Structure 1
Amino acid sequence: MDYETVEAATFGQALSGITLNLLCRDVAREVAFLTQVLGLKAHRVSRDFAIVTHGAAVLQLHSDGSFAAHPLYALLPEAGPRGSGAEIRLHGIDPDGAAARAEAFAEATLLAGATDKQGHGLREAVILCPEGYAFVPSVALQPSVRD
């Protein structure tokens, strides 16, 4: 599918499984974070909307204003972070590199630097984007010599 030219209805009807839609005060700022810090691909970026991909996974960004008629709009906080309690896990993204880029990205917050999580078999970091959503880039740990 060509994300740059696909009609909205065709795009919507093609989605399957689970997709993620994040409401943003500033779509362009969020796109900058996702592409520069996490290396995701952005498509069809406008003031009110963007499609962001990570492999086959699709993420949509919508401006707050574009959701004015949606029931979620009334629940949006005026200020502060959003998405408390949810993690957006991005497998196959180097957490060390993402953590370093997050520290250099003025509006990102590195909550936890890259750490080996032996119980999960992953190396991961926790980074808050400018909107306050928690992104967790991770890679699989190499099996130990004992394994």
Structure 2
Amino acid sequence: MEYETVSAEDFGKSLSGLGLNLLVRDVPAQCAFLRDVFGMAAHRVSADFAIVTYGGQAFQIHADHTYHSNPLLGLLPETPPRGAGVEIRLYNSDPDAAAARAEAAGGTVLQPPTDKPHGLRETYILCPNGYAWVASRPLQPPAPAKSP
């Protein structure tokens, strides 16, 4: 699908499975954060909406004001964090590189890159809108010991 030219109707009809849509105060700023920290690509970026792609998957970002008649808008807190309890996991992302770029992009590293017992190296990064992004990759097996 050509995300830069697809109509809203055709894009909507193409969606299936599990979807992700984030409500944010500033769509272009959120897209810049995702690009700068995680290397994501943003398409059709406007003050209202963007399609964001990562690892062959697409999700949506909408500005708060586009939800003027949606019941979800009344549940948004006035200040972040917004996504308390939700982890947006970015598998096969370099947690060390993401953590190193996060503060310059306006994010907060909640947990520095850490090797976890479930086989992943992870970092937790809070974006300016309050969503928790978890960059992770599989732990590398230890190098075999060299024979004397």
Shorter-chain TM range is over 0.9
Match of 2:134 in 1: 136
Contact 1:19/1:57 (8 A) holds in 2: no
CA–CA separation in structure 1 for the residues paired with 2:75 and 2:103:
30
CA distance in 1, matches of 2:80, 2:19: 24
* TM-score using structure 1 length: 0.93
Deviation at 1:103, TM superposition (A): 2.5
1:76 positional shift: 1.1
Who is 2:87 aligned against? Answer: 87
RMSD (Å) for aligned C-alpha atoms? 1.2
Aligned-partner Cα distance in 1 for 2:61–2:39: 16
For structure 2, the residue ranges without an aligned partner over 5 or more in a row are none
Q: Deviations over 1:62-121 (max 9, x none)?
A: 00000111110111111221000100000111000000000222x21110111111x211
In 2, Cα distance between equivalents of 1:134 and 1:73: 19
Query: Which string of whole-angstrom CA distances, capped at 9 and with x for unpartnered residues, describes residues 4-31 of structure 1?
Result: 0001111111111112000001111101
Contact 1:50 1:60 in 2 (8 A): yes
Equivalent position of 1:123 in the other structure = 121
Determine whether 1:48 maps to 2:45. no
Unmatched tracts of structure 1, length 5 or more: none
SS at match of 2:38: coil
Give the count of matched residue pairs.
Answer: 144
CA contact (8 A) 1:53 1:59 kept: yes
How many angstroms apart in 2 are the aligned matches of 1:93 and 1:80? 25
Q: Sequence identity of aligned pairs in percent?
A: 58
Larger radius of gyration: 2
